[in-house]
Amino acid sequence: MSRVLVLNGPNLGRLGTREPDVYGATTFEGLAALCRDAGRRLELDVDVRQTDDEAELIRWVHEAADERLPVVLNPAAFTHYSYALRDALAQRTAPLVEVHISNPAAREEFRHTSVVAGVATGTIAGFGTFSYVLALQAVVELLAEEADRRG
């Protein structure tokens, strides 16, 4: 069973109360349960984490790189300006799927640019919390492709 880190940036711990018209009514605990349930179905060991601290998020990214762990990442506001996070992600050693609950391209102008997208394997956005399920499905496919290449 492959281990996957599902990492979440600032303010995502406030899901369910934070702008429910944008982010929905699911709490962070509900999101974590959704990810773990999807992981079980996909035969993934899913470790869901959230922090409002950029340094902690970067430490988790380093952990993933050192352990060759795939990452599903919702960088939240760090998406748009954290070059430190982007540089840490560039060191990745396994698939990285950027995920967003809302569609940043359909929102305010400042949300249209992701500084982390260029170092991600791909991005899934705009499907609510189901974006995470799609990202975990993508990780499974990416890991299978890697295994096929190795023979």
Under the banding of pLDDT at 50, 70 and 90, the label for residue 106 is low
Mean pLDDT of the chain: 92
Note if 100 is an active site residue: yes
Note if 112 is an active site residue: no
Q: What is the pLDDT of residue 52?
A: 97
| Per-residue DSSP letter, 46 | E
Q: What is the pLDDT of residue 110?
A: 64
Catalytic pick from 23, 81, 83, 132? Answer: 23
3-state helix, strand, coil in the chain (%, to 5): 50, 20, 30
Catalytic pick from 62, 81, 83, 100? Answer: 100
pLDDT in tens, 6-39: 999 999 999 888 777 766 778 999 999 999 999 9
Look up residue 40 and give its amino acid: R
User: pTM of the predicted model, to two decimals?
Assistant: 0.93
Is 80 within any annotated ligand binding site?
yes
What are the sequence ranges of the domains in the chain?
Answer: 2-150
Top-level CATH class of 2-150?
A: alpha beta
